[in-house]
Amino acid sequence: MEQQNKKSKKWLWLTIALVIVAGLAVWCIYSAVNHPNVKDGETVKGAKNVLNFGSTFVLFTIAFVVIAAGYLLGGINIKGVSLGTAGVFLIAILVGFLCTLVPENAGVFSGFHLTEASSVVNTFKGTIQNIGLVMFVGSVGFIAGPNFFKNLAKNFKTYILLGAVIILAGTLVAVLCTLLTDYGPEYWSGVLSGALTSTPGFSAAKDAVVGTANQMQLESLITLGHAIAYPFGVVGVVLFVQLSPKLLKSDMDKERALLKLGGEEEKRDYSKFFKCEDFGFLPFALAVVAGLLLGSITIPLTGKGYDGACFSLGTTGGVLIACLIFGHFGHIGKLSLEVKESTLKVMREFGLALFLLGAGVHGGVSLVEQIKEFGGGIVAWGFIGGALMTMMPMVIGFFLGKYLLKLPMLNNLGSITGGMTSTPALGTLISTAKTDDVASAYASTYPIALILIVLASQLLITLM
C-alpha cells in the first residue's frame, strides 16, 4: 500500500511538472505572437521590444526546457528500466531537430533557427558539453580515487584484456561493413566512433583524411557516420547496464558486497589538513587544471611525427586521471584535497546533464544537415551497422568477463562502460547499482579503450 502511494505521488509530481513546462511554453508563444510590438513577424521599428530573443535567451531557453523535459522522460520507469539522465539526450536531439525546422524569417523566433554554424549550436557543442564532461569525469575521479589503485593492481590484466576485446569486436564489425558495402572506410570509421560514443576516435578519423584530394567530402562522411550511430551508442549502453542484472535476476545486495571485496574504503581524518572552504571547490579546480594540462600532451604514434597519427588523453582522459590521483592521495602537504561527497554527487549529475544537453542539441542539428546532403539510404545502413558495433562488443565483453575472467557482475558492467567509453552509461550504472564503487572499474578500463579506439579509427581508414 505504501509503495503504491509513493508511485502515485511520483506520477502526480511528474504530471504537475509536465503541465508547468507545457504552460510556460504556450504562454511564451502566445505572448510573442500577440505582442503589440510584433507585426507580420517583424519588430516594429522605434517601439520598445519587451521580448528580446537574442542568442543568450535562445541558449538558456533551450537548455532549461531540454533539462526539464529530459528528466520527465528519464523519470518514466517501465518494469524497473528507465532512461534516467539519458532522457535529456533524447529530448536534446529532438529539440535540435525541431529548431532546424524554424524558418530563418520567423520574426522574433528567427533566433531559434539553428544550423551547425549557429553560435548557439557551437556553444552547446563546445562550452556546455565540455564543462559538463569535466564536471562529470572529475567527480567520478575523486569518488573512485581512494580505491582505484588497489582495484587496478588486483585486476590490471583483466581490465586491459576486456577493454581490448571490446574495441576489437567493434572494429571487426566496422571492417565487415566496409567490405560488404560501397560507403568506404571513412564513413564506417565515423560510425564506429559514434557507436562507441568516442569523440577522440571521431577526431582521429578526421585527422586521417587531412591532406587527401577530397578531404572535405571524406570529413563529411565521417561526420555523418558519427552523427547517425551516436544516439543508439548512448541509449544502447544505458539500457544494457540496466537490463543485464534484471535478465540474470541478480541479487544486487550480494553483487554490491562482491564489489567491495578486497577492503573497505579508507577512512581519512581530514581535520589535520588546511581547507580554504568546506565544499572542496579549490581542490576540484586544481585537479581539473592539472588534468587539462595532462590531456593537452600529444604523442606521435608514427614516424611522421606530429604530421601523422598522434595520441592524447584529451579533456576526458586527462581530467579523469588527474582527479583519480588527487582523490587517491587526499592532500598535498598540509593542504586538504577533500571534496565533499554531496558536492561530488551534485556535480556528477549536473555535469552529465550538461554533457548530454550539448551533445544532443548539436547531434540533432548535425544529423538533419548530413541527411539532407547524403540522403536516407546511407543513414539506414549506418544505423544498422552502428547498432551492431554498439551491441556486439558489449555482449562479447559481458560473457568474457562473466565466464572466462570470473568478474563480479558490477565489476563486469563497470568495465564494459569504460571499454565502450560511455560516460552516460556510467551514470546510469551508478544509479542502478546504488553505489559509486563501480566507477573504479570504469576508470581502470577507460584509458586502454581510449588509446585503442583512436588507433582503430585511424587504421581502419589508412589500411582499408
* CATH at 213: 1.20.1530
DSSP 304: T
Asked whether residue 263 is domain-assigned, the answer is no
Range from 59-63, 304-308, 438-442 carrying the lowest mean pLDDT: 304-308
Q: Which of 43-57, 241-255, 259-273, 364-378 has the lowest mean pLDDT?
A: 43-57
Prediction pTM value: 0.74
pLDDT in tens, 333-359: 888 888 888 888 889 889 888 888 888
Is the pLDDT at 164 greater than 90? The verdict is yes
Number of domains in the chain: 2
List, for residues 42-51, the tens digit of each pLDDT value: 444 433 444 4
Q: How far from chain centre, in Å, is Cα 153?
A: 27
pLDDT of 24 higher than 70: no
Gap between the Cα atoms of 438 and 131, Å rounded: 23
Instruction: Let me know: does 209 contact 461? Beta carbons within 8 Å.
Output: yes
The answer to whether residue 28 is domain-embedded is yes
pLDDT at 269: 60
pLDDT value at position 15? 67
pLDDT at 176: 95
Whether 14 and 133 map to the same domain: the answer is: no
- In this prediction, residue 373 carries a pLDDT of 74
CA atoms within 13 A of residue 388's CA, in its CB half-sphere: 14
Phi and psi angles of residue 310, each rounded to the nearest 5 degrees, phi first: -130, 160
Task: Kindly report, residue by residue over 89-115, the tens digit of the pLDDT.
Answer: 888 888 888 888 877 776 667 777 788
Cell 568516442 locates to 198
pLDDT in tens, 355-364: 888 888 888 8
Q: Mean pLDDT lowest for which of 50-59, 83-92, 154-163, 385-394?
A: 50-59
- pLDDT at position 39 over 50: no
Q: Has residue 56 been placed in a domain?
A: yes
Give the list of residues 6+ apart from residue 54 with CB closer than 8 angstroms, or none.
111
Judged against a pLDDT cut of 80, whether residue 389 lies above it is answered with yes
Query: Is there a single domain that holds both residue 201 and residue 239?
Result: yes
Residue 10 confidence class, pLDDT cut points 50, 70, 90: low
Supply 81's cell numbers.
528500466
Instruction: With a cut of 90, say whether residue 396 has pLDDT above it.
Output: yes
d(CA 428, CA 245): 13
Q: Name the residue range of residue 106's domain.
A: 2-112
Residue 321 to residue 290: CA distance in whole angstroms: 9
Same domain, yes or no, for 411 and 384? yes
Higher pLDDT, 388 or 254: 388
pLDDT of residue 301: 67
The pLDDT assigned to 1 comes to 56
DSSP element (H, E) containing 334: none
Residues of 162-177 as b/e, b for ≥16 C-beta within 10 angstroms?
A: bbbbbbebbbebbbeb
Query: Residues 196-221: pLDDT tens digits?
Result: 988 778 877 877 787 777 887 888 88
State the CB neighbour count (10 A cutoff) for residue 205: 33
Lowest-pLDDT range, 163-167, 302-306, 448-452?
A: 302-306
Per-residue pLDDT at 172 exceeds 90: yes
Is 119 within a domain? Answer: no
Among the three residues 112, 143, 173, which one is the final residue of a domain in this structure? Answer: 112
Task: State the Cα–Cα distance between residues 175 and 171, nearest whole angstrom.
Answer: 6
Residue 283 covered by a domain: yes
pLDDT at position 348 is 86
Q: Where are the beta strands (DSSP E) in 133-248?
A: none
Q: Based on the domain organization, do 241 and 298 belong to the same domain? A: yes
Domain finish residue from 52, 80, 112: 112
Mean pLDDT of 43-62: 61
Task: For 442-454, give the secondary structure using H, E and C.
Answer: HHHHHHHHHHHHH
pLDDT computed for residue 5 by the predictor: 58
Residues 145 and 226 placed together within one structural domain of the fold: yes
Task: Examine the domain organization and report whether 107 and 131 are in the same domain.
Answer: no
Question: Quick check: 158 and 339 in contact, CB under 8 A?
Answer: no
Label residue 287 by pLDDT band (50, 70, 90).
very high
pLDDT of residue 45: 42
Question: Does 447 reside within a domain?
Answer: yes
Q: Which residue has the higher pLDDT, 145 or 49?
A: 145
Q: What is the mean pLDDT of the chain?
A: 80
**How far is Cα 190 from Cα 271, in angstroms, rounded to an integer?**
50
Mean pLDDT value across residues 121-142: 86
The verdict on residue 141 lying in a domain is yes
What is the pLDDT, as a whole number, of residue 9?
A: 58
Q: What is the DSSP letter of 279?
A: S
179, 311: one domain: yes
Residue 84, domain member (yes or no):
yes
Q: What is the pLDDT of residue 385?
A: 94
Domain end residue (candidates: 112, 143, 171): 112
The mean per-residue pLDDT over the stretch 373-397 comes to 89
DSSP of 46-107: TS--S----HHHHHHHHHHHHHHHHHHHHT--BTTB--TTHHHHHHHHHHHHHHHHS-TT-G
